[in-house]
């Protein structure tokens, strides 16, 4: 009986009914068994469509999981989702691949019986992704030991390696598995992974040498060319362009937009390293891959007498080097074959077609056997010990079968025949095990078993595999029959042997209507999933799958350890004919059936919604085709033959007990009695349900839906009751918590307040005692008795000082310090004053700084010397007293590069006669000039300036003393200026003659000529007056206190 999961968690019955029953009109039902019209295929597909539209890609048919490929990433595979499904009952939450993974794992652990999960579906339906998700779930959720982490990584990393060597781009799928895979994952008694083993089936070796239009060879070839580094490709003598290799261009599709071969190459190399491949093994493996490409480029020519020879010796040399074989022996083996007749060996040349076939057969054999070696190597890395597989150490096993689904192509050949035969066997097993499981559950619960009508496909399986009369036996006989045999003779023998079988039709045996759609080279089998036409062309060659004996001998002598392992010398010595491909597949399939029969199976049926790989698109015709070929309707009919719904008593009672007063809120009697009371209250009729020993069985989904709707209507009333009770309980508990907290806080607070009060009083007493003692010893040296008092005095002074610091450099106030801080106070006062001065200076603007410097110089010259100086202190000195327009352009041109720094209007008095003349005095950086309108009348170089004389009165007279010996300087200049202090200050600073300024209180002498002097007399008067006085002196009358 299938294990249905944990029903009780921590003493409480878990709700195992699906929560989405009430949303069934929008999202459909999540178990097809609950469909009312379960015989309708349209209803089945519409339910699929509804769920697909809501991104609900998983649906159950009982314990079978149906998965629809969404062709986009869904946020349902995170670690949080894994934890959500971990340890939860199978039907408790929505369908998921993790649910079936977890259910299988827990069934293995509790029942100690091996399990298996069978994944099937069309190419592109998501089988490989489903198996990856299952492996990832076990790797994340199963308990692990430190040395088991590597094993989990190897299990996961085996996927990209097998995909690279066994998957290819087809018309239906960009990553189609071209082989069947069965993987056993072994667990110890604690549920931790301890090993694994992989079986592979029917690798599509023909893809190595031929691909249909729009398809590619196996991924590894393109990954090597695109992702391999230059050194590796040079070692293998390969080019990056796939078009250079005949085995890669037949499908005319070397690039695929959805595949990054370069990134995939990095993943594969990393995976090989994790699995445990050595660098030498990887190199040998890549040598074989490169040799296959070179082998495809090995071409043949035909001589005049029909003999065959190789035209591409360079390619053959590359093949021999990479395979590690003798080049001449390989050349001979590709163009000749060895025959044994009556104990004698003969060498026979091959014609052109035979040589090409031998080359392709060698390529297929080398690649196929290398793939088998790769699987064997992975198995060695997954096994803890050499004999771990099928060991008797009590290990439990979960098997994963990822195998091709039913295939119906435009042209169906030998490969499709084997694939569909495999699906017939799996369908036969599926129906048998499903019926067996149902019957066991009914018997366990004491419910009468009703015979189920279903299509038994054993008749088709017998048609294919029956000994001596089955299609495979006939194919083997035709391959072994001496004489000329061909595919048409095989078809004729089928017509003779099984022509009367109801599931077999050929063109010859068909009626007129059927003949129009069948060729003469086809036969039709009526499979459980539908009719399929198989073209017999190539059946015999693919079934023979033989390699010439001399090619085997060459491969046996290879220095490549992989090839020497794959081609055993016993093959050459053994004269027995090897088993045919179809028989090999049949025998391996029989062994697989034995493995699956020994385990408890679970099923995942994968469906592709459209051929364009577009998300959100649902192609009803395509889906109906797959539903038919997967036998889902047959499965549903078997599952619904009895009862649609079944649950354990505790789960059913826990969910629906609010609907009956007797069972609500709690039922204390036997569970069976409680369920009986509940269904009687709900009015179930006798034909609608049965009570087993531990489960209730409900026959019709309508009965369940009515019960679910009644529960939905009851929920508001239940919610109000629960809310009322909960709120009352919550408020009472809250009050008690608050009351207790208040008491605790009050007690703590009062205690803390009392302790604080006592502490403050104690500290206050100690403080007062220290203060008084310090005051008594205040005049003593600093000691323990007075340290606190003196520190307090210092602190008080500094605190008072901080509040009363001077705010300006002109503020000379300063608090009076105590005796012990006099010296420190003086230092602080100086530091503070210096700091204020620095701050003040930093705030001064450049223009104001210049003004201050001029005022300082004026102070040094005129302070306490000239009566007009105090009135000039508050007036700003201007940059110039003349506008630029007032200065003649001709004068500026005459000055040239010398710029006028200051200009002022003056009156010049002649040294002889003292005639006043209006002039402009212009100061430059090196000299001063007196200008009369447009003409420079006198130039006075600063270097020649001997002194500057002014009076102490409030007049504007200034005398510039120049040497009389120099004719250019023209002697002393007598000037009168209204801004005499400004003029003299600027002139003294520019000429650097501040020490040459003379302030005379009475008279000023000046040079009239070299030998004659003149005198200017200054007297006080009511107003300013300049005139020629007696004795030829210049008399200047000036008030003593007037602005100038």
Please tell me the distance from the alpha carbon of residue 380 to that of residue 390, in angstroms, as a whole number.
14
Q: Which helix (H) or strand (E) holds 534?
A: strand 530-535
The single residue of 94, 177, 298, 412 carrying the catalytic annotation is: 177
The Cα-based distances of 136 to 89, 209, 363 in angstroms read: 20, 35, 35
Please tell me the distance from the alpha carbon of residue 590 to that of residue 583, in angstroms, as a whole number.
10
Contact 158, 268 (CB under 8 A): no
Dihedrals phi, psi of 201, to nearest 5 degrees: -135, 135
Compute the radius of gyration of the chain from its Cα atoms. Answer: 56
> Tokens 């652990």 identify what position?
109
Give helix 846-862 / helix 980-990 axis angle, nearest 10°: 100
The single residue of 124, 195, 903, 971 carrying the catalytic annotation is: 124
The single residue of 176, 206, 423, 949 carrying the catalytic annotation is: 176
Give burial (CB, 10 Å; 0-12/13-18/19+) of 258: exposed
Give helix 279-296 / helix 352-382 axis angle, nearest 10°: 160
User: Is there a catalytic annotation at residue 124?
Assistant: yes
Dihedrals phi, psi of 934, to nearest 5 degrees: -110, 10
The single residue of 59, 104, 158, 173 carrying the catalytic annotation is: 173
Greatest Cα pair distance in the chain: 170
The single residue of 94, 103, 104, 128 carrying the catalytic annotation is: 128
- Phi-psi region at 913: left, alpha or beta (left = phi > 0; alpha = psi -120 to 50): left
The single residue of 89, 94, 123, 1044 carrying the catalytic annotation is: 123
Cross-strand partners of 182: 199, 401
- The SS3 call for residue 791 is helix
| DSSP-based helix, strand, coil % in the chain, nearest 5 | 50, 15, 35
Please tell me the distance from the alpha carbon of residue 403 to that of residue 182, in angstroms, as a whole number.
8
Q: What is the length of the chain?
A: 1044
User: Is there a catalytic annotation at residue 872?
Assistant: no
User: Is there a catalytic annotation at residue 407?
Assistant: yes
User: Is there a catalytic annotation at residue 128?
Assistant: yes
Please tell me the distance from the alpha carbon of residue 378 to that of residue 374, in angstroms, as a whole number.
6
The single residue of 324, 405, 470, 674 carrying the catalytic annotation is: 405
The single residue of 18, 92, 122, 407 carrying the catalytic annotation is: 407
Please tell me the distance from the alpha carbon of residue 997 to that of residue 104, in angstroms, as a whole number.
115
Instruction: Report residue 519 as tokens.
Output: 């060729």
Q: Write the secondary structure of 119-133 as one string of H (helix), E (strand) and C (coil).
A: EEECCCCCHHHHHHH
User: Is there a catalytic annotation at residue 177?
Assistant: yes
Please tell me the distance from the alpha carbon of residue 562 to that of residue 278, in angstroms, as a whole number.
13
| Residue environment code for 233-257, b if the CB has 16+ CB neighbours within 10 A, otherwise e | beebbbeeebeebebbebbebbeee
Please list, in sequence order, all residues whose beta carbon lies within 8 angstroms of the beta carbon of residue 106, skipping any fewer than 6 positions away.
Answer: 3, 5, 6, 87
Q: Identify the sign of the CA torsion 570, 573, 577, 581.
A: positive
Neighbours of 228 (CB within 10 A): 21
Q: Which helix (H) or strand (E) holds 1020?
A: strand 1013-1020
> Tokens 């090196």 identify what position?
926
Instruction: Report residue 446 as tokens.
Output: 């004491």
Q: Which helix (H) or strand (E) holds 512?
A: helix 512-515
Please tell me the distance from the alpha carbon of residue 648 to that of residue 3, in angstroms, as a whole number.
12
Give burial (CB, 10 Å; 0-12/13-18/19+) of 414: buried
Please tell me the distance from the alpha carbon of residue 995 to that of residue 950, in angstroms, as a whole number.
13
Catalytic residues: 123-124, 128, 173, 176-177, 405, 407
């Amino acid at each position: 009986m299938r294990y249905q999961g944990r029903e009780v968690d921590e003493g409480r019955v878990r709700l195992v009914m699906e929560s989405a029953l009430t949303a069934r009109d929008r999202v459909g039902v999540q178990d097809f068994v609950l469909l009312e019209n379960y015989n309708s295929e349209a209803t089945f597909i519409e339910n699929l469509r509804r769920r697909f539209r809501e991104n609900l890609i998983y649906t159950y048919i009982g314990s079978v999981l149906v998965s629809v490929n969404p062709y986009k990433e869904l946020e349902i595979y995170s670690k949080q989702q894994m934890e959500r499904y971990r340890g939860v009952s199978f039907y408790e939450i929505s369908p998921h691949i993790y649910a079936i993974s977890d259910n299988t794992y827990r069934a293995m652990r509790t029942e100690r019986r091996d399990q298996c999960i069978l994944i099937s579906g069309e190419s592109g339906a998501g089988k490989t992704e489903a198996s990856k998700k299952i492996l990832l779930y076990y790797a994340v959720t199963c308990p692990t030991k430190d040395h088991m982490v590597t094993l989990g990584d190897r299990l996961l990393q085996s996927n990209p390696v097998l995909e690279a060597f066994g998957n290819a781009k087809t018309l239906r799928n960009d990553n189609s598995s071209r082989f069947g895979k069965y993987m056993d994952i072994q667990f110890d008694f604690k549920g931790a992974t301890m090993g694994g083993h992989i079986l592979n089936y029917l690798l599509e070796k023909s893809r190595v040498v031929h691909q249909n239009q729009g398809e590619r060879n196996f991924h590894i070839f393109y990954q090597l060319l695109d992702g391999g580094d230059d050194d590796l490709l040079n070692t293998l003598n390969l080019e990056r362009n796939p078009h250079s290799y005949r085995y890669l261009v037949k499908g005319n599709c070397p690039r695929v937009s959805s595949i990054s071969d370069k990134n995939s190459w990095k993943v594969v190399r990393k995976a090989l390293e994790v699995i445990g491949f050595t660098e030498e093994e990887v190199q040998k493996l890549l040598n074989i891959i490169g040799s296959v490409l070179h082998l495809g480029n090995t071409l043949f020519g035909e001589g005049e007498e029909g003999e065959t020879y190789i035209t591409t010796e360079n390619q053959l040399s590359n093949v021999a080097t990479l395979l590690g074989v003798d080049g001449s022996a390989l050349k001979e083996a590709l163009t000749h074959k060895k025959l044994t007749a009556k104990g004698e060996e003969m060498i026979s040349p091959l014609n052109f077609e035979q040589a090409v076939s031998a080359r392709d057969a060698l390529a297929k054999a080398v690649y196929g056997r290398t793939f088998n070696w790769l699987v064997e190597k992975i198995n060695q890395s997954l096994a803890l010990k050499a004999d771990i597989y099928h060991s008797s150490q009590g290990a439990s096993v979960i098997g994963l079968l990822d195998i091709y689904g039913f295939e119906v192509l435009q042209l169906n050949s030998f490969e499709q025949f084997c694939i569909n035969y495999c699906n017939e066997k799996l369908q036969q097993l599926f129906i048998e095990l499903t019926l067996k499981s149902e019957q066991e559950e009914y018997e366990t619960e004491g419910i009468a078993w009703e015979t189920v009508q279903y299509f038994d496909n054993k008749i088709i399986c017998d048609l294919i595999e029956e000994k001596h009369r089955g299609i495979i036996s006939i194919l083997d006989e035709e391959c072994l029959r001496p004489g000329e045999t061909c595919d048409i003779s095989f078809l004729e023998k089928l017509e003779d042997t099984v022509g009367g079988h109801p599931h077999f039709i050929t063109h010859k045996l068909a009626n007129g209507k059927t003949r129009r759609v069948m060729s003469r080279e086809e036969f039709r089998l009526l499979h459980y999933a539908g009719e399929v036409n198989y073209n017999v062309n190539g059946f015999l060659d693919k079934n023979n799958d033989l390699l010439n004996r001399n090619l085997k001998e060459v491969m046996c002598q290879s220095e490549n350890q992989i090839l020497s392992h794959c081609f055993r010398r016993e093959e050459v010595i053994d004269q027995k004919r090897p088993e045919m491909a179809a028989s090999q597949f049949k025998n391996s399939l029989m062994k697989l059936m034995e493995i699956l029969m020994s385990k408890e199976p679970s099923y995942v049926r994968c469906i592709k919604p459209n051929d364009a790989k577009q998300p959100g698109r649902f192609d009803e015709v395509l889906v109906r085709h797959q539903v038919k070929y997967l036998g889902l309707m047959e499965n549903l009919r078997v599952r619904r033959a009895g009862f649609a719904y079944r649950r354990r008593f505790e789960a059913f009672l826990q969910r629906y007990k609010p609907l009956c007063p007797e069972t609500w809120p709690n039922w204390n009697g036997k569970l069976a009695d409680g369920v009986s009371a509940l269904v009687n209250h709900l009015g179930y009729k006798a034909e609608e349900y049965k009570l087993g020993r531990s489960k209730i069985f409900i026959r019709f989904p309508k009965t369940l839906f009515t019960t679910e709707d009644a529960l939905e209507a009851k929920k508001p009333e239940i919610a109000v009751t629960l809310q009322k009770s909960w709120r009352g309980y919550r408020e009472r508990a809250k009050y008690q918590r608050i009351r207790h907290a208040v008491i605790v806080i009050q007690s703590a607070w009062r205690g803390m307040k009392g302790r604080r009060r006592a502490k403050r009083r104690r500290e206050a007493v100690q403080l007062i005692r220290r203060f008084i003692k310090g005051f008594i010893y205040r005049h003593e040296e600093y000691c323990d008795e007075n340290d606190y008092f003196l520190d307090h005095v210092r602190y008080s002074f500094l605190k008072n000082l901080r509040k009363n610091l001077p705010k300006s450099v002109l503020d000379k106030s300063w608090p009076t310090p105590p005796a012990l801080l006099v010296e420190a106070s003086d230092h602080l006062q100086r530091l503070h004053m210096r700091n204020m001065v620095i701050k003040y200076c930093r705030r001064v603007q450049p223009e104001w700084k210049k003004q201050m410097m001029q005022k300082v110089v004026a102070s040094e010259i005129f302070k306490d010397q000239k009566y007009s100086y105090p009135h000039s202190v508050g007036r700003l000195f201007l940059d110039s007293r003349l506008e630029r327009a007032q200065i003649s352009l001709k004068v500026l041109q005459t000055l040239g590069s010398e710029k006028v720094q200051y200009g002022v209007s003056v009156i010049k008095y002649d040294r002889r006669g003292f005639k006043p003349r209006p002039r402009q005095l212009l100061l430059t950086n090196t000299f001063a000039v007196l200008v009369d309108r447009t003409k420079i009348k006198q130039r006075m170089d600063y270097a020649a300036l001997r002194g500057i004389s002014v009076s102490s009165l409030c007049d504007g007279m200034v005398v510039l003393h120049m040497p009389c010996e120099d004719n250019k300087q023209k002697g002393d200049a007598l000037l009168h200026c209204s801004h005499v202090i400004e003029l003299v200050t600027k002139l003294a600073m520019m000429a650097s003659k501040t020490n040459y300024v003379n302030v005379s209180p009475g008279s000023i002498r000046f040079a009239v000529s070299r030998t004659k002097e003149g005198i200017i007399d200054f007297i006080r008067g009511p107003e300013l007056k300049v005139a020629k006085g007696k004795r030829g002196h210049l008399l200047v009358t000036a008030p003593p206190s007037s602005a100038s």
